[in-house]
């Protein structure tokens, strides 16, 4: 168990809908990262928050947004969902800004139908 908790584990929703994925980092970790994993693209970095502030952005669509709350948990919001958004979404956390020793959660499997 990495100590990173993601909820829900599975999510099935229809196209056009909006969902929120939740992540609780390991105790003491200030950085949270979101990744998307699909069969054709592999693991793609979406966004990083450090101590409540956005730190880096990767290949995150404009329909997606994230935030990190004062208690350091993070939420990833996905809106206007399309079939192609179906993927595994992982959250990872690390103690500092550098993600060289990031620990991943178990992921949320999103299926858009």
Partner 1 sequence: QKEVEQDPGPLSVPEGAIVSLNCTYSNSAFQYFMWYRQYSRKGPELLMYTYSSGNKEDGRFTAQVDKSSKYISLFIRDSQPSDSATYLCAMSGNSGYALNFGKGTSLLVTP
Site for partner 1, rule CB under 8 A:
2, 4, 33, 42-45, 48, 55-56, 58, 90, 92, 97-107
Compute the least distance from the CB of residue 74 to partner 1, in Å: 15
Compute the least distance from the CB of residue 22 to partner 1, in Å: 15
Q: Which is nearer to partner 1, 71 or 101 (CB)?
A: 101
Q: Which is nearer to partner 1, 12 or 97 (CB)?
A: 97
- CA 33 to CA 13: how far, in whole Å? 23
Q: Which is nearer to partner 1, 43 or 80 (CB)?
A: 43
Compute the least distance from the CB of residue 33 to partner 1, in Å: 8
Compute the least distance from the CB of residue 78 to partner 1, in Å: 19
* 13 C-beta neighbours (distance < 10 Å), count: 16
């Amino acid at each position: 168990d990495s100590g990173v908790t993601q909820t829900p584990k599975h999510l099935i929703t229809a196209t056009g809908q909006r969902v929120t994925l939740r992540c609780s980092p390991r105790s003491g970790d200030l950085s949270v990262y979101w990744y998307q994993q699909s069969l054709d693209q592999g693991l793609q970095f979406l966004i990083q928050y450090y101590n409540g502030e956005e730190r880096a952005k990767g290949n995150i669509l404009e329909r997606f947004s994230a935030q990190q709350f004062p208690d350091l948990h993070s939420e990833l919001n996905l809106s206007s969902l399309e079939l192609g958004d179906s993927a595994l979404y992982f959250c990872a956390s690390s103690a500092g800004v550098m993600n060289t020793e990031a620990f991943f959660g178990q992921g949320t499997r999103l299926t858009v139908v």
